[in-house]
Amino acid sequence: MKLAKKNKKVVIIERHKEVGGGCTHWGTIPSKALRQSVSRLIEYNSSSLFRGHEKPKHLTFPEILKHASSVVRKQVQLRSGFYDRNRVELIAGEASFIDANTLKIIKADGSNEQLTAKQIVIATGSHPYRPAAIDFSHPRVYDSDSILSLKHDPRSIIIYGAGVIGSEYASIFRGLGVKVDLINTRDRLLSFLDDEMSDSLSYHLWNNGVVIRHREQIDRLETTDESVIVHLKSGKKMRADCLLFANGRTGNTADLNITNAGLAADGRGQLKVNGQYQTEVDNIYAVGDVIGYPSLASAAYDQGRLAAEAMMDHQSTAKLITDIPTGIYTIPEISSVGKTEQELTETKIPYEVGRAQFKHLARAQISNSLVGSLKILFHRETKVILGIHCFGENAAEIIHIGQAIMQQKGEGNTIEYFINTTFNYPTMAEAFRVAALNGLNRLF
Ligand SMILES: Cc1cc2nc3c(=O)[nH]c(=O)nc-3n(C[C@H](O)[C@H](O)[C@H](O)COP(=O)(O)OP(=O)(O)OC[C@H]3O[C@@H](n4cnc5c(N)ncnc54)[C@H](O)[C@@H]3O)c2cc1C
């Protein structure tokens, strides 16, 4: 869009039947729409006002999936409208390189077309990692793409891989009343988070009945018509109605014939780029999941814009922000920006902590969102905000208030902002005022 608005001739090639990418069809949008329905279901079932003495409402995965597909439809309409309005030609087909300026496009009807361009952006995304030893053709074995075609209503599920995707799906299935075994190959859940956030997530998943196993590796998978049995290297085994394998993703480069363009991908199918999103071949740029970290739709949008900027102006110094916020849509939700307590301790930065518990906020009491907290980490001498960590309903929205202050230059970044301003009342944003007062009161 950025290039088209600057009157560049832009063509987009997409192999899926609809635009929107994995973000719209298999990733962000469907998983967040599923989570929203499950959250409302939990709220309804736990509300004495709405549910009264009725038996709990039960929704199946295919039922909530229907609502998610209506969101996907709206997103596709919106996005195809953008292409149309900005005169970006859309070619339906699978692209691969003939050379650094030429692409071959295989269309759905089998016909071929060749396109040449001065510059090319690779934004082909990623797909779930599928180890050869796991039979993904079995009807009870899913990855995060194929889970969206789950037709039956499982009573139990094993989720292998407790990263963001595995943890989010653990929350969704548990919210639907499904028995969940979550197998983590690492020591703790989402170890990149502040320890308190990771501990809170572990506690709440555990408290909701999710069985979490840390430091485990799959040895083999046994499948029958009725169930799946996961044998772990530790000797444990577990049985469930189905398996969701969510242990890593691979960049979509295997079908691109990138060697024809002089490019090579690493072992995870990812491409190397410089600060301007330019690959090792000058006229080819790459953005999004295909370049790896942070593998977020949020960052991919900005990378696309920055790459476009660099393609028009090679001297461009525009950069992605360094503190990219994390939004994790588990139940409860988690969001963070900046440093964790572990990082600050390791680098010996003298910091102080200000905390607000949601249960003490009027707005949280009104909306019955009592689980959660906000914590602000700030420098005890300069009062500069160093990190913000939020756990609980709407954490991913709440975090941006603090992020806006944290991003201010010079003296603009100070925790004192939150006590020198007036907040609407009652709001969840008030957590910033409460946490700031709590933290500043700790100084001596
Ligand atoms: C379950 C799940 C939940 C997620 N939740 C979040 C979230 O909450 N927040 C967030 O920020 N991120 C989230 N993500 C990550 C996010 O979806 C990705 O980071 C984002 O989609 C990456 O965008 P992209 O443009 O790089 O690739 P994609 O969105 O995957 O798009 C790539 C497109 O390229 C097409 N393509 C591939 N190869 C070819 C070819 N050879 N020819 C033509 N077309 C091709 C594909 O069909 C696809 O449409 C989630 C991901 C998953 C799987």
Q: Could you report the per-residue pLDDT of 131-171, keeping only the tens digit for each?
A: 999 999 999 999 999 999 998 899 999 999 999 999 999 99
Atom nearest to 128 CA in ligand 1: 53
Cα–Cα dist 258/254, whole Å: 8
CB 296 less than 6 A from any atom of ligand 1: yes
Cα–Cα dist 374/358, whole Å: 8
Atom nearest to 95 CA in ligand 1: 42
Atom nearest to 294 CA in ligand 1: 19
> Which residue has the CA at smallest separation from atom 53 of ligand 1?
27
pLDDT of residue 239 exceeding 90: yes
Cα–Cα dist 250/217, whole Å: 19
Q: What is the predicted pLDDT for the residue at 150?
A: 93
CB 286 less than 6 A from any atom of ligand 1: no
CB 94 less than 6 A from any atom of ligand 1: yes
User: In this structure, how many other beta carbons lie within 10 angstroms of the beta carbon of residue 409?
Assistant: 6
Atom nearest to 19 CA in ligand 1: 49
Task: Give the pairing type, strands 156-160 and 242-245.
Answer: parallel
Distance 8 CA to ligand 1 centre (A): 25
Q: Could you report the per-residue pLDDT of 65-100, keeping only the tens digit for each?
A: 988 999 999 999 999 999 999 999 999 999 999 999
Q: What is the predicted pLDDT for the residue at 49?
A: 86
Distance 121 CA to ligand 1 centre (A): 15
CB 165 less than 6 A from any atom of ligand 1: yes
Atom nearest to 105 CA in ligand 1: 42
The arithmetic mean of pLDDT across residues 300-327, rounded, is: 93
User: In this structure, how many other beta carbons lie within 10 angstroms of the beta carbon of residue 247?
Assistant: 23
Element (H, E) at 284: strand 284-286
> Which residue has the CA at smallest separation from atom 37 of ligand 1?
124
Whole-number CA gyration radius for the chain: 24
Q: Band of the pLDDT at 315, cuts 50, 70, 90?
A: confident
Residue 381's contacts (CB-CB under 8 Å, 6 or more residues apart) are 350
Distance 16 CA to ligand 1 centre (A): 12
Q: What is the predicted pLDDT for the residue at 51?
A: 87
**Residue pair 368/42 in contact by the 8 Å Cβ criterion:** no
> Which residue has the CA at smallest separation from atom 7 of ligand 1?
28
- pTM, entire model: 0.96
Cα–Cα dist 392/234, whole Å: 34
Atom nearest to 297 CA in ligand 1: 11
Distance 155 CA to ligand 1 centre (A): 29
Distance 21 CA to ligand 1 centre (A): 5
The arithmetic mean of pLDDT across residues 412-435, rounded, is: 97
CA-based nearest residue to 286, from 275, 294, 278? 278
**Residue pair 212/403 in contact by the 8 Å Cβ criterion:** no
- Ligand 1 pocket test, pick from 296, 301, 330 with the greatest ligand atom count within 8 Å of Cβ, gives 296
The arithmetic mean of pLDDT across residues 228-250, rounded, is: 97
What are the tokens at 138?
């079995």
CB 79 less than 6 A from any atom of ligand 1: no
The pairs formed by 6-11 with CB atoms below 8 angstroms and a separation of 24 or more are: 6/308, 6/312, 8/312, 10/88, 10/89, 11/88, 11/89, 11/90, 11/91, 11/115, 11/117
Distance of CA 377 to the CA centre of its chain: 24
Atom nearest to 21 CA in ligand 1: 49
Q: What rounded mean pLDDT belongs to the chain?
A: 96
The arithmetic mean of pLDDT across residues 294-317, rounded, is: 94
Distance of CA 206 to the CA centre of its chain: 22
> Which residue has the CA at smallest separation from atom 52 of ligand 1?
27
